[in-house]
């Protein structure tokens, strides 16, 4: 059983961009139920299917599987709720951790979030200067909710 322990924050300013290289992610949802989400994602030509359980604290079950990229593209086009999440993900090292900074495009343009995965809910981490307010417990910022309620409509 896999557990994801993740904290999420707004990003302020542009300092995080220094030396950061990004990859384009496209993802869609087959289920956005509060108890479980089922996501299809492409990163370049690679495809992934991810099932996540309900969040409790900062933790939730997560299972991710590689699938053929063509299958992922087909699911994004025919089975997923719209709009599809389109973002560029940057990996930024700060101290002992690597932050994933997501810059959203399309209907979620203008939103930039930073996530950090931890080994335990009480693990200490260095807070970079560009880190804004924590939104880990604000469901509006869950990618699955950005499909139903895009950032541009807030």
What's the predicted TM-score (pTM) here?
Answer: 0.94
Domain boundaries, the chain: 3-153
Integer Cα distance of 59 and 77 in angstroms: 30
CATH number of 3-153: 2.40.320.10
Q: Which residues contact 105 (CB under 8 A, 6 or more apart)?
A: 86, 87, 88
pLDDT-derived band at 1 (thresholds 50, 70, 90) equals: low
Query: 59-92, pLDDT tens digit by residue?
Result: 999 999 999 999 999 999 999 999 999 999 999 9
- pLDDT confidence bin for 34, thresholds 50/70/90: confident
* 29 annotated active-site: yes
Cβ–Cβ under 8 Å, residues 40 and 28 = yes
Q: Inform me whether the pLDDT recorded for 143 exceeds 80.
A: yes
pLDDT of residue 148: 94
Q: What's the distance, Cα to Cα, between the start and end of the chain in Å?
A: 36
Strand pairing of 97-104 and 36-43?
unpaired
Q: Could you say which of 29, 65, 90, 141 is catalytic?
A: 29
């Amino acid at each position: 059983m896999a557990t994801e322990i993740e904290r999420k924050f707004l990003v302020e300013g542009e300092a995080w961009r220094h030396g950061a290289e990004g990859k384009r992610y496209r993802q869609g949802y087959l289920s956005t139920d509060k108890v479980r989400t089922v996501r299809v994602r492409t990163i370049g030509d690679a495809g992934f299917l991810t099932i996540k359980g309900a969040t409790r604290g900062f933790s939730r079950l997560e299972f991710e599987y590689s699938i053929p990229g063509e299958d992922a593209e087909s699911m994004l086009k025919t089975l997923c709720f719209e709009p599809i999440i389109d973002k560029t993900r940057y990996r930024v090292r700060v101290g002992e951790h690597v932050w994933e900074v997501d810059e959203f495009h399309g209907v979620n343009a203008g939103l930039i979030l930073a996530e950090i995965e931890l080994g335990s809910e009480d693990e200490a981490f260095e807070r970079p200067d560009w880190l804004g307010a924590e939104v880990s417990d604000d469901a509006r910022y869950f990618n699955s909710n950005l499909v139903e309620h895009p950032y541009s409509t807030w």
